[in-house]
Amino acid sequence: MSEALALLPEYLSAHVRLTLAALLAGVLLAVPVGVLVSRVRSLEGPVVGLAGVIQTIPALALLAVMVPLLSGLGLPGIGVLPAFLGLVLYSLLPILRNTVAGLRGIDPAVLEAAEGVGMTGRERLVQVELPLALPVVAAGVRTATVWTVGMATLSTPVGAPSLGNYVFAGLQTRNSASILTGCAAAAALALGLDFLVRQVATGLGERRRGRIAFGLVGLGLLAAWAWSVGGASGSASGAASGSASGSEARAIRIGGKTFTEQYVLAEILAGTVRSRTGRSATVLTGLGSTVAFDALARGEIDLYVDYTGTLWSTVMGRPAAAESRERVLEEVRAWLLSTHGIRVAAALGFENAYCFAVQRETAESLRLRSLDDLSRHAASLTLASDYEFLSRSEWRSVERAYGLAFREKRTMDPSGGSTLSTSWCSRTRSGRYRLTTPSSWPAPGSRARRPT
Amino acid sequence: MIDVAGLGRRYGDVVAVEGVSFQVATGELVALVGGSGSGKTTTLKMINRLVEPSAGRVTIDGQDTAAVEPHVLRRSIGYAFQGVGLFPHLTVAENVAVPLRLAGWARDRIDTRVEELLALLELDRALLARFPAELSGGQQQRVGVARALAASPRVILLDEPFGALDPLTRDRLQGAFDALRRRLGLTAVFVTHDVAEALVLADRIGVMRAGRLVQIGTPAEMARQPADEDIARLLDTPRRHARVVASRFESPS
């Protein structure tokens, strides 16, 4: 727990920086667009509709989409930028909608009076319309604030640190204290920011300068704290996006995916780099599987552990089943070097195949000894799988070959105890949960796990 | 002097105002009367171009209003209307000061002028820092008129400025306004559906019906030679009411 709390300033400040920057950009973008839309009626449908469509994209997917999008544009695909842009897009709708509604809701008699006293369009906007719409706009900003704080926890997989790091790491390492810390801190931050924004909003509505000042000073202090704490760790992310200037000073950036083994391997690698080379090493874990690869390909991280089978089927897009591990490794090595200039550093030397795991009681009562046995009982069993497996070609071939028609298939974090799940044979946790892998079961599409 | 010549306004196929011509001499008040939809408000709004005419033109002291930027034109014309249109986010003082700020007056001059205007309309100084929502209807109307007069315009347009007031307040305000506009020598166009109010305040009355100006003249001229039966009846209503009221007061109970 104290270990988790030690990370709080870093994660919280990163979260605050991300949230405040995205909100500020959201306001600066959505308010002018809202003004324009309220002026040009034909724009309202398309613009508000577009913002609405962005909103229907699941938050995590929106962030994930930013990665290839930015990479395609030649910008850093992982880190703060994709998270920031995703959050800005997400914050647009409530601010935009409320700006339009606030401007539309103004009494026409007041607008006529503004014209009648001889205001120009700009004077009317600045002196009458915006002040009158402000309380409604501010309510939209409050909604956006709470959404943005929540969504920022999802920026971990695209490589931006946030309170989500507690949650993602906690999920993978079965550390509920870590998950709770992340949740509680995010909720407290959402409440705190909402409180401060509300002070500004109601202060504007009731023309109480004290409240406005209170809210703004509060937000300013929070921002000042977040950026001062971020100064130290910010240099690391700055180096990550910059070119290798003064290579002896730059930290080695080690990536890791979103599951337990990767958290462990990344830390081992970092420790090794530090002790063997004396250089500093930063760890960026919780990256989506292909996000990690793209980050390496673009030089945004220097090193991570991947699996030949994953590279073979997901990145290279090859059909399943090559004849031997050695052959797969050689082809992957050659392909990575020629296509992406990535060198496979070493093979870690262990094979890590997908396998099916069931609880011993289930295996004994159903007399499960082989995949044939399993296919007979599949209709009564629910299969839990990691995020990738069910969309990989290995699964489709084993499904076809053995006629495995499960009652239900769930994609989830499979590290908990389920009746039947895909697992990795290298996992040691199987013993604790008494999962068995009958030795006669062939591993579907055996994958040699080798680091690049 | 205001010269309205052949003024017309169409909305698609709908004719709101057609062929309206009249003059308002300097220092004169012309009241436009008529039922709702008769085009009197549209005519008024075409004078300061809140509504752009689709035909005809308006000249004020020889200046064609179409040749002036609309906001510049409006700054030279006072405008007060029913529903008041005070800015709800501004205090009474700030509301009255709007035309002065637009005209670029210095702050201390504005403060002096605002107090002067409040005194002119018999408004308590304590109201200066209040918001419109905290005022009574009559007070709001007064503030609206004060704002219209703020920049000392030579011409003022009023659209039912004393509508929706209780009779006593209304009577007092009408009296105050009449004295004020005579003292300041304002040239005014006044829209109302209340013939009695028009008869009390106006030098001349224009009767509008279905977008046209049917007749215009002094109350005496119109009483002598009404253009048609309806106008004769219309002008006679206040008198008829007065007779009925008088007989009620006199009849034994």
Question: Cβ–Cβ of A113/B86 closer than 8 Å?
Answer: yes
The DSSP 8-state label assigned to residue A390 in this structure reads G
Q: Which residues of B touch A120 (CB under 8 A)?
A: 71
Fold topology of A2-241: MetI-like fold (1.10.3720)
Q: Which residues of A touch B147 (CB under 8 A)?
A: 117
Strand partners, B55: B8
- What ipTM was predicted for this assembly? 0.86
- Residue B50 is predicted with a pLDDT of 92
Paired tokens of B206: 């224009």
Which of B70, B72, B85 faces A113 most closely, judged by CB atoms?
Answer: B85
Please give the average per-residue pLDDT across A17-26, as a whole number: 94
CA–CA separation, A208 vs B63, rounded Å?
46
The domain boundary residue, chosen from B93, B117, B142 = B142
Sheet holding B14-24, edge to edge: B14-24, B2-11, B55-60, B63-64
B104 and B48 part of one domain = no
B9 and B53 part of one domain = yes
Domain span at residue B181 reads: 1-76+154-217
The domain boundary residue, chosen from B202, B217, B232 = B217
B202 pLDDT tier (thresholds 50, 70, 90): very high
For residue B160, the domain's CATH number is 3.40.50.300
Residue A195 has pLDDT above 90, yes or no: yes
Share of chain B above pLDDT 90, in %: 54
Q: Which residues of B touch A207 (CB under 8 A)?
A: 89
Residue B17 has pLDDT above 90, yes or no: yes
B71 and B92 part of one domain = no
B68 and B158 part of one domain = yes
B113 and B180 part of one domain = no
CA–CA separation, A285 vs A172, rounded Å?
11
- Residue A221 is predicted with a pLDDT of 93
Which of A110, A116, A118 faces B88 most closely, judged by CB atoms?
Answer: A110
Residue type, B86: L
User: Does any domain span residue B147?
Assistant: no
Residue type, A66: M
Fold topology of A354-436: D-Maltodextrin-Binding Protein; domain 2 (3.40.190)
Indicate the range of A86-100, B44-58, B77-91 predicted with least confidence: B77-91
A451 pLDDT tier (thresholds 50, 70, 90): very low
Single out the residue of A213, A163, A223 nearest to residue A193, CA to CA: A223
Give tens-digit pLDDT for A90-129.
898 899 999 999 999 999 889 999 999 999 989 999 999 9
The domain boundary residue, chosen from B114, B142, B170 = B142
Which of B48, B83, B89 faces A109 most closely, judged by CB atoms?
Answer: B83
Sheet holding A420-424, edge to edge: A408-411, A382-385, A420-424, A354-359, A435-436
Q: Do domains A2-241 and A354-436 have the same CATH topology?
A: no
Question: Cβ–Cβ of B74/A116 closer than 8 Å?
Answer: yes
DSSP H/E element including A286: strand A281-287
**Domain segments of chain A as ranges:** 2-241, 252-340, 354-436
**Residue with structure tokens 């292909």?**
A290
Q: Which residues of A touch B73 (CB under 8 A)?
A: 118
B18 and B69 part of one domain = yes
Residue A340 has pLDDT above 50, yes or no: yes
Paired tokens of B182: 């005579």
Give tens-digit pLDDT for A396-427.
888 888 888 888 777 766 554 455 666 655 44
Give CA torsion, residues A363, A367, A372, A378, to 10 deg: -60
Number of domains in chain B: 2
Give tens-digit pLDDT for A228-262.
886 544 333 333 333 334 444 578 889 888 777 88
Give tens-digit pLDDT for A300-319.
888 898 888 788 877 887 77
Please give the average per-residue pLDDT across A209-219, as a whole number: 91
Fold topology of A252-340: D-Maltodextrin-Binding Protein; domain 2 (3.40.190)
Question: Cβ–Cβ of B102/A114 closer than 8 Å?
Answer: no
Question: Cβ–Cβ of A109/B81 closer than 8 Å?
Answer: yes
